[in-house]
Amino acid sequence: MLLCFDVGNSQVYGGFYENNKFSHNFRINTKIGWSSDQLGIFLRSFCREHNIACEKVNEIAVSSVVPSFDYHLKNACLKYFKVEPMFIKAGIKTGLSVAKFKSSHEIGADLICSAVGAVEQYPDSNLLIVDMGTATTITVINSKKEFITGVIIPGIKTQAASLAHAAEKLLTVELLRPKTVLAKDTTESIQAGLYYGHLGAMRLLLRKLANEALHDQEHKIIATGGFARLFTKSKLFDVFDSDLVLKGLVKIVSLNPSIR
């Protein structure tokens, strides 16, 4: 059984993979200061509650953009599962070519994994991959499996927190999809601005990337990440897949048998 972790700045999303599918998934907050033992106890408890035999976990793969979390996660895996986790890093086979991106060593593990997951499902396709978390990223992969480029903007929750922090009279608001931009109070004004402002930014970026990176060739737009659900009715994406990074991890593990 393979245990996968997608460690983001806000949340850790994980899942147990067996018989060609994820049977159980979980989310925990990245920022609450987990120790190795706390992580291990949580994972063992999750296994017990869902009738997962811990001893069946013989492989662990991790996509992480939070280096300070990695030490504790690695120790938890070693102590509670007796498995050395594989972290996605430079030198690991992914099936992608990153030669066209100048600073390829800076590409986040999450972007690599989501790209691998998308390519595995849509081979020979031009892809625009939108990942909406603490940051909103858009990655371009062409039909030759080449990582062309990517853009990064603050995520919608990050924008909301920044606004509330910088302006004393503006409140932290619930993130939702307003039916209209015709706000009736300050809360609705912020919600409309955040949602439709983010939607407009993504529409423009997707259009420009399709034009400049893919020369308007046929392509698919795939979305993942916790906040992408807010935009599923916007007709911005062709597909929403919450497990895209985890699916990429599964593929990468299969490409690297020597380090499993």
Q: What is the CA radius of gyration of the chain?
A: 19
Give the integer Cα–Cα distance in Å for 126 and 130. Answer: 13
Nearest CA among 67, 59, 109, 106 for reference residue 88: 109
User: What are the catalytic residues?
Assistant: 110
How many angstroms separate the Cα of 99 from the Cα of each of 20, 96, 149, 227? 31, 9, 11, 30
Q: Which helix (H) or strand (E) holds 203?
A: helix 186-212
Per cent of the chain over pLDDT 70 is 99
Local confidence band at 180 (pLDDT 50, 70, 90 cut-offs): very high
Q: What pLDDT was estimated at residue 164?
A: 92
The larger pLDDT score, comparing residue 170 to residue 77, is at: 77
Q: Which two tokens stand for residue 241?
A: 């897949």
Q: What pLDDT was estimated at residue 238?
A: 97
Local confidence band at 53 (pLDDT 50, 70, 90 cut-offs): very high
Question: 162-186 as b/e, with b when 16 or more CB fall inside 10 Å?
Answer: ebeeeeeeeeebebeebeeeeeeee
Give the integer Cα–Cα distance in Å for 144 and 4. Answer: 27
Q: Facing residues of 3 across strands?
A: 16, 60
Widest Cα–Cα separation across the chain: 60
Q: Tell me if domain 2-87 and domain 124-244 are identical in fold.
A: yes
3-state secondary structure of 12: strand
Contact partners, residue 189, CB within 8 Å, separation at least 6 = 183
Give the integer Cα–Cα distance in Å for 14 and 176. Answer: 25
Does CATH place domain 2-87 in 3.30.420.40?
A: yes
Q: Are 195 and 222 in contact (CB under 8 A)?
A: no
Superfamily the domain 124-244 falls into:
ATPase, nucleotide binding domain (3.30.420.40)
Written as one string, the DSSP assignment of 106-148 is GS-HHHHHHHHHHHHHSTT--EEEEEESSEEEEEEE-TTSBEE
Domain boundaries, the chain: 2-87, 124-244
Q: Which two tokens stand for residue 101?
A: 């991106």
Q: Indicate left, alpha or beta for 12 from its phi (over 0: left) and psi (-120 to 50: alpha).
A: beta
Q: Which helix (H) or strand (E) holds 45?
A: helix 36-49
Q: Are 73 and 3 in contact (CB under 8 A)?
A: no
How far is C-alpha 70 from the geometric centre of its chain's CA atoms?
Answer: 16
Average pLDDT over residues 220-241: 96
What are the tens digits of pLDDT across the range 57-103? 999 999 999 999 999 999 999 999 999 999 999 889 999 999 999 98
Give the integer Cα–Cα distance in Å for 200 and 48. Answer: 45
